[in-house]
Structure formats: C-alpha cells, structure tokens
Structure 1
C-alpha cells in the first residue's frame, strides 16, 4: 500500500517538477543589471519587446478618450466663438488645435485658432477622463455640449495661472465658451 502511494505521488509530482524548469543551482549566471552594466551596453534580457519595423513614428498617432465620436453636427471653431449662444445646450463636433492643456493632470484643454484671442475650453463629462498634459499642439476632434459660462474671479485666476487665456466681457467679467466633451480624439 505504501509503495502504491509513493508511485502515485511520484507520477503526480513529475509533471510539476518538469514545468518548474532547471533547479536554481543549475541555472546560468544572471546577466548584469542596469546598475552594473557598462554605459552604452545593451541589455539582452530587456523585458520590452523590440519595436516592429512597420511601427508608426511618434507623429501621426490618434488617441481617443471618453466615448467614441458619434457623428454630432460639425461646427467650425470660428463659428462657435462668434455665436456661441446659437449652439448653447446642443451637442456639436468641433475640430481645432489644442492651444493649452491643464499641466497638473490634463483635466481641461483649450482649442483656439491662434496663440492670442478667445478659445473654447474643453472639459470632460463627469470628470470621467483626461488628456495628456503635453497635448498642446495636437489636432483635436471633440464632441460635446456647448455652454457659455460666466466664471468667478477665483476660477478665472486659477485658469490664468495654468496658462489659459480667459476672455472678459465689456463689463470686465470673465466669460468663456465651454464644451463639455463626451469624447475626444487627438492627433499629431
């Protein structure tokens, strides 16, 4: 009885021992670590896969955040800035260049036609997604709901401290056109 138990245990354990590989004492010596490697020496055991020959360059990428764009009516950035009240409360698609983006966590970006003048501040529905903090200069396609907002002085100063241009009305109060985005595509 004892012999049959030993045979069964051995038959059960052998496949696991085979899967475990060679014992630690028989493994080849470890390759030098990054700390002990000489400058310029290539690590053969790098865990990152090599870049495929047909990989896309750093430019030309598309990054999608939030929902997939659904084909909302297109409005030009110039038209939206000229007559934002006609689109207020509507879901639209706008394309433009990202002039600025939140440098702390990417929780807003600003679409504009140039470095000066009014732009459209894009925030993200339910604070549910963000864009990379280095999004400035990217081409953007955004779908969302248009809002015309009067900002508090504190909020205007906060945005200006992060590099945004906050337009002011004839009365001096900070107002801006906002787009609460449900989806964003960025391209470089």
Structure 2
C-alpha cells in the first residue's frame, strides 16, 4: 500500500514541480481566458496553459511535438506561401521556419518566419480547434508545421491585441490589417 501511495504522489508531484517555476501556469479561470479572447472554457484554458509551460525541456537539442503527428502533407517553402498566399489558400501544407514570436500569455499562437528574417511578413500559426498550445518560450526554435493556409483580414481590435503581444501585423495599402495564417493540426519544435 505504501508503494502505491508513493507512486501516486510522484505522479502528481513531478508535474507540479515542473509548473512551479512558471508564473503563467498559475493563471486560471476567467483571467486566463481573457488574455487571448478565445471562446474556450476556463477549465480547458487553465489546463492548456499548464501543458504549454510544462512541456519545454530546459536543455538544447529537444524535439517537442504538439497536436497530431505530422502526416506528410505537401512540403511548401515558407517564402513561397508568403509570396503567393492565395495560391495555397485552403490547402493543407507542411512548412518549415523559425518561430519569431509566440503568444507570451498562453502560447496560443506563434509567428513563423523564414530563418534569420527579423522583419517583414510571417505566418501566424494558430492551432486547430484551440486544441493545443506551444511553450511560451518558443521564439527562436525551428518549427515544422502542418495545417491549412488562410488569408485573413483582421479587425483592428485583433490586430492591436496581437501587436500588444509583440507580433508584427502587416497592413495592406489601404491600411487594413491582413495576414497569412496557418491553422495547424500538428507542430514539431526543435532547438
């Protein structure tokens, strides 16, 4: 009985220790939900915030998979998607790039850019059905992302929200915020 009790305590304690260093994991309820203005319920939001922060190993050389395993969609160069997004709109593709930014509040989006490109357009990656997140410290990681390409015009409110989190939101010649998005079903991150 003591062995069983000890094993159960370890199963609970290890994840809690991993979360202890991340203050963002302490956000729960409406406060966490309000950070990114998504319709997910508070309980799921709090669980996903903990999942995102607890999953990034501290050392280099890691590979982290989120969502579904990559299924082998047609590989397309990220630069090609950015240059001619309409040609890829609605199609499932596999792209590779560098994570330039990630949502600093929950990891509910990331901005993927051509490696070494600090300025200019990027692809905003969101996660299908708000079903998974990436670690808050994903910026700088190399990423392989599989999902559906979408060209979207953002509301001013969403554009300002993303900009407040450090994102670069491109604007058309008419001044309206537009961006290339990828709704990911699976993500692999490497450092």
The one-character-per-residue Cα deviations of 1:108-156 (angstroms, maximum 9, x if unpaired) are 0000121100100000000000000000000000000000000000100
Q: Which runs of 5+ in 1 are unaligned?
A: 1-18, 21-55
- Classify the secondary structure of the residue corresponding to 1:183: strand
Poorly superposed stretches of 4+, deviation over 4 Å:
none
Q: Distance in 1 between matches of 2:78 and 2:133?
A: 21
Q: How does 1:53-132 map to 2 (within 5 A)?
A: 58-113=59-114, 114-132=117-135
Map of 2:178 onto structure 1: 175
Please give the alpha-carbon distance, in whole angstroms, between the structure 2 residues aligned to 1:100 and 1:57: 18
- Note the C-alpha offset of 1:80: 0.3
Alpha-carbon distance in 1 for matches of 2:190, 2:138: 9
More helix, by proportion: 2
Q: From the CA coordinates, give the structure whose radius of gyration is larger.
A: 1
Structure 2 CA distance for partners of 1:121 and 1:57, relative to 1, 3 Å: closer
Matched residues, number: 136
* SS, match of residue 85 in structure 1: helix
Taking the TM superposition and a 5 Å limit, the aligned residue runs for 1:24-39 are: none
Report the Cα distance in structure 1 between the residues aligned to 2:160 and 2:58, rounded to whole angstroms. 38
Distance in 1, matches of 2:71 and 2:131, equals: 18
- Paired residue for 1:141, among 138, 141, 144? 144
SS at match of 2:75: coil
- TM-score, reference length from structure 1: 0.70
Query: RMSD of the alignment, in Å?
Result: 1.7
Report the CA distance shift for 1:135/1:57 in structure 2 as closer, same or farther (over 3 A).
Answer: closer
Structure 2 residues not aligned, in runs of 5+: 3-56
Partner of 1:157: 160
Partners of 2:122 and 2:75 lie apart in 1 by 17
Of the three residues 176, 185, 188, the one matched with 2:188 is 185
Deviation digits for residues 76-99 of structure 1 (CA, Å, limit 9, x no counterpart): 110000000000000000000000
Normalised by the size of structure 2, how large is the TM-score?
A: 0.69
Could you say what secondary structure the match of 1:135 adopts?
Answer: coil
